[in-house]
Structure 1
Amino acid sequence: MSAQLRLAQPEDLTRLMGLVAAFHAEMGIEQDEELRQSALLPLLEGIPHGCIYLIGPARAPLGYIILTFGWSVEFGGMDAFVDEIYVRPAVRRRGIAGETLLELPKALATGGIKAVHLEVDREDAAAQKLYLRSGFKPRERYMLMSRMLG
C-alpha cells in the first residue's frame, strides 16, 4: 500500500472533516465541528503557517498529516511541527505512517524546512517505535509545555 501524498485543497474539506473527527474521537479530543472547520479551512486555503497532506487515493484517503510552520534560531530557519497524523484503523500496520514520515521530510527539505518535530504520548510505546524508525529522536533535556490563551 502506498502512502502517496497530495496537498489538500479547499474542496477536500468534507473528506478531511470526517478523518479529523475520527482521529479526535480516538484521541479523546473534544472539539465541535465549527471550531474544527475554522481551524482546517485556512490551511486548505493556503495560509503560510501550515499545510495538510492527504495520504493515499484522492477519492478515498487513507489518512492525513497536518504540519504547522515556525522559525527556529536553534535549527537555523524554518521548521515544521507534525500537528496531527492519522491513518484509518482498517489500514494500519501496513507501513503507511512510516512511509509518510520518511518521505515527507525529503519534500520539506526542498522547501527550505530545517527540522521536523512532533510530540508523542509518553505511554504510547508503539508510536514511539514508529517515530524512532522514521528518524525522529527524543530530546532528552526538553519537554513540550503549553499554555492556552484566551
Structure 2
Amino acid sequence: MDSPHFQVANDSHVAALLPLVRAYHEFEQIGLSEQQRCDAVLPLLSPDSQVGRVWLIFISQQVVGYVALCFGYSIELSGRDAFIDELFLVESARGQDIGKQVLEFVIRQAASLDVAALHLEVSRANNRAKRLYSQAGFLARDRYHLMTFKVASN
C-alpha cells in the first residue's frame, strides 16, 4: 500500500468531500441534512479560514478519506487548541496504518498552525479508534466529561 498524501480541501473539492462526510455521519449516526452538512463544511474550505482546515486523504491518486481540524482557544492549555472534529477513511483503507499516518500529519500541521493542544471525541464503543488514538499519544481526560449545549441559531 502506498503512503497517504494530503491536500488542503477548498471549495472546488465539495463534490468529492461531501459524500465522505455523509458516509462518516452515517457511520456515527449523525443526523444532518445534505444542506446542513454543506453549510457546516464550507467555512472550513476558504484558504484563510479562521475556523479550521479540512484535508483530503489520497492513496494512489484516489481519495480515501478526510480529516477536519477545528480551532478554538484554551486558557488552561495556554493557547490555541483544536479538535480533530472528523477523521474518516473508507472501509478499504482501514487497518493499514493509514490512520496512524493521518494523525502524524495532523499533529505536524497543528504545530505549524500554532496549536498548543489537540482534542478529539471517540465513541466509547469504538475500541479500534480508541486504540489508534492512544497509540498516537492521545490521553483520556477521565477527570472531565465533555458536555454540549446546542445554542439555537436564528
| TM superposition score category, shorter chain reference | over 0.9
Q: Report the identity percentage.
A: 34
Please, which of 72, 81, 88 is the counterpart of residue 83 of structure 2? 81
Could you tell me how far apart the structure 2 residues matched to 1:145 and 1:3 are? 34
One-letter code aligned to 1:137: L
The separation in 2 between residues aligned to 1:10 and 1:85, in whole angstroms, is 19
Q: Give the distance between the partners of 2:35 and 2:143, measured in 1 at CA.
A: 38
Q: Distance in 2 between matches of 1:128 and 1:57?
A: 23
User: What is residue 29 of structure 1 aligned with on the other side?
Assistant: 30
TM-score relative to the length of structure 1: 0.94
CA distance in 1 between counterparts of 2:93 and 2:110 reads: 25
Offset of residue 136 of structure 1: 0.5
CA distance in 2, matches of 1:78, 1:148: 22
Unaligned runs of 5+ in 2: none
Closer/same/farther in 2, CA of residues 111 and 58 from structure 1, 3 Å limit? farther
In structure 1, the residue matched to 2:43 is 42
Query: What residue number does 2:3 align with?
Result: 2
CA distances 1:84-113 after superposition (whole Å, capped 9, x unpaired): 100000111011111111221122112211
Where structure 1 has 5 or more consecutive residues not aligned to the other structure, the ranges are none
Contact 1:75 1:115 in 2 (8 A): yes
Alpha-carbon offset, residue 70 of structure 1: 0.5
Equivalent position SS for 1:141: coil
Higher mean C-alpha displacement, 103-112 vs 80-89 = 103-112
- Report SS of the residue matched to 1:94: coil
* Structure 2 CA distance for aligned equivalents of residues 141 and 129 of structure 1: 20
- Change beyond 3 A, Cα 1:34–1:5: same
* Alignment-derived partner of residue 145 in structure 1: 147
Aligned pairs (5 A) from 1:54-93: 54-57=56-59, 60-93=62-95
Instruction: Give the paired residue count.
Output: 150
Question: What is the RMSD of the two structures over their aligned residues, measured on CA atoms?
Answer: 1.4
Contact 2:81 2:115 in 1 (8 A): yes
Cα separation, partners in 2 of 1:81 and 1:58, compared to 1, 3 Å: farther
Q: Find the aligned partners of 1:23 and 1:98 in 2 and give their Cα distance.
A: 18
Q: How does 1:7-26 map to 2 (within 5 A)?
A: 7-26=8-27
Asked whether 1:103 is paired with 2:66, we answer no
Map of 1:117 onto structure 2: 119
Q: Residue 15 of structure 1: SS of its match in structure 2?
A: helix
State the alpha-carbon separation in 2 of the partners of residues 82 and 36 from structure 1.
Answer: 17
Q: List structure 1 runs of 4+ shifted beyond 4 angstroms.
A: none
In structure 2, how many angstroms separate the alpha carbons of the residues matched to 1:126 and 1:80? 22
